[in-house]
Structure 1
């Protein structure tokens, strides 16, 4: 009797080992990321040290770090980051609020898709920079114009990926839900939306990247602060170290936004591992 009880309890000890491969993958990913950064920065430093590039045009990493620390102590870098982040997030959120619901409607309704899709395909290839003259004429050079330019750059990836996510839901899941007696509304909320979330989040990540990308152009419109303005102003004064600081700050802002969206994906779709 005692032997039987022991044999039934022993399998539970092996349960924690199931998480080991996942932890190993995360550790390996972190190690590869660190190695990549070290190799890249070392190569940059080596190029300057061997005089393969003019240090005035390509400042070495210590010079850039020193300038970044100085700007952090002065508080100017944080101001530029805060201003740019507000503009990028504002345009991105506006694109999300409009792009995701519109993409769902277009994905679910062939008529709505037929009405709106021609305009999407007409405007999508036009780069945001080409829209700057009209945006200035319509909205001036204030914050509204910057918001519009960022919105224009971010909405199309969000819209297209949302449509794709809704349209490519596995019909087997829908038929199974109908067989179980689910209503159309239940199928939409319990089957279509969860299945479309990975594609929607991918669109959000692409849209966030485009928002950062377009931000530099948007901050050419009468700005006196922001990372894009910092880069352009430093170029006029030939402060290449500060140009690099602005570029690094933009990259870090984009990286943080992307990691936040990956975390959102993991919470919304626990059954599907998020892509790094």
Structure 2
């Protein structure tokens, strides 16, 4: 094989090229959002869609202001938001505290995986509402059952991603560290943990999305506040402006939490973004 046949690896992008690419990506994102908003505005302005099913942006904004200042069913918008965030974050943090270490141990030990993997794989595909009925029978209709459902929704992605990350650590790194005299604690801190962090952070983002999708199911039983409950209650009375407004608030808070995880990922794994 001649030297001309060898494909040279692509050189790192210059700072100017990176800025141009980032600017192009942001422009495409902005155009996409603007295009969707324009389509929504025109379809409601010209009556292409029944306003009962798709209210105008102005109506949704009015619902936002009204709910923020006057409230919905006795609670202001920030009270609904805080109630939902409290449940989501409690279940999610508990799942992180249990699922990430458990997943790492499962990735390192076949015996531990043989014990816990069948349990997680059994309940993971179960519909949240079907699982929630059993949880309510066990824990009642209070916040404990809601947090438990959110915890169970968040646990499988965290456990599976952590397990795969731990199992995928290159054994050459372990041998090299041991040859330099590294003990078990040093191996975990300097080899396993840095190698697992990218996969763990990805699992945390996926898990947060699953937790949010289960929020409405968790709040439809015996709740009096929460974004999921507000959306569910408004849908029963066809108050579509409140439903869409609640979905926007729910989505924006989810994006904000996902952004926080990505910033933590950049701080914990800076070598991936160089």
The TM-score, its normalising length taken from structure 2, stands at 0.89
User: Is residue 128–residue 152 contact of structure 1 (8 Å, CA) maintained in 2?
Assistant: no
1:18, distance to aligned residue in structure 2 (A)? 5.2
Q: How many residues align?
A: 258
Does 1:62 pair with 2:54?
Answer: no
Residue 22 of structure 1 and its aligned partner are, at CA, apart by 3.8
Residue matched to 1:33: 29
Counterpart position of 2:214: 214
Q: Which moved more, 1:68-77 or 1:113-122?
A: 68-77
Q: Distance in 2 between matches of 1:49 and 1:118?
A: 53
Aligned to 1:3: none
How big is each residue's C-alpha offset from its partner over 1:175-196, in whole Å with a ceiling of 9 and x where there is no partner? Answer: 2222322223312210111111
RMSD across aligned C-alpha pairs, in angstroms?
Answer: 1.7
Distance in 2, matches of 1:22 and 1:267, equals: 20
Structure 1 residues not aligned, in runs of 5+: 1-16
Name the residue aligned to 2:7: none
Q: Distance in 1 between matches of 2:21 and 2:151?
A: 36
Larger mean Cα displacement after TM superposition, 30-39 or 191-200: 30-39
SS of the residue aligned with 1:272?
helix
TM-score (norm 1): 0.88
Give distance in 2, aligned partners of 1:55 and 1:224: 27
Task: Give 1:36 deviation, angstroms.
Answer: 1.4
Q: Distance in 2 between matches of 1:253 and 1:196?
A: 27
Distance of 1:21 and 1:72 partners within structure 2 = 44
In structure 2, list runs of 5 or more residues that go unmatched. Answer: 1-12
Match of 2:101 in 1: 101
Q: Secondary structure at the match of 2:271?
A: coil
Distance in 1 separating the partners of 2:177 and 2:19? 35
- TM-aligned CA deviation for residue 219 of structure 1: 0.3
Within 2, Cα distance between the matches of 1:233 and 1:84?
A: 15
Aligned mates of 1:58, 1:173 — CA distance in 2: 56
Cα deviation, residue 53, structure 1: 1.3
Return the offset for 1:19.
3.9
In structure 2, distance between residues paired with 1:53 and 1:209: 30
Q: Which residue of 2 aligns with 1:155?
A: 155
User: Contact conserved, 1:92 with 1:208, CA < 8 A, in 2?
Assistant: yes
Match of 2:10 in 1: none
CA displacement, residues 72-125 of structure 1 (integer Å, 9 cap, x when unaligned): 233611111111111111110011111011111111111111111111211212
Q: How does 1:79-98 map to 2 (within 5 A)?
A: 79-98=79-98
| SS class of match (2:270) | coil
Q: CA separation in 2, counterparts of 1:192 and 1:239?
A: 51
What residue number does 2:5 align with? none
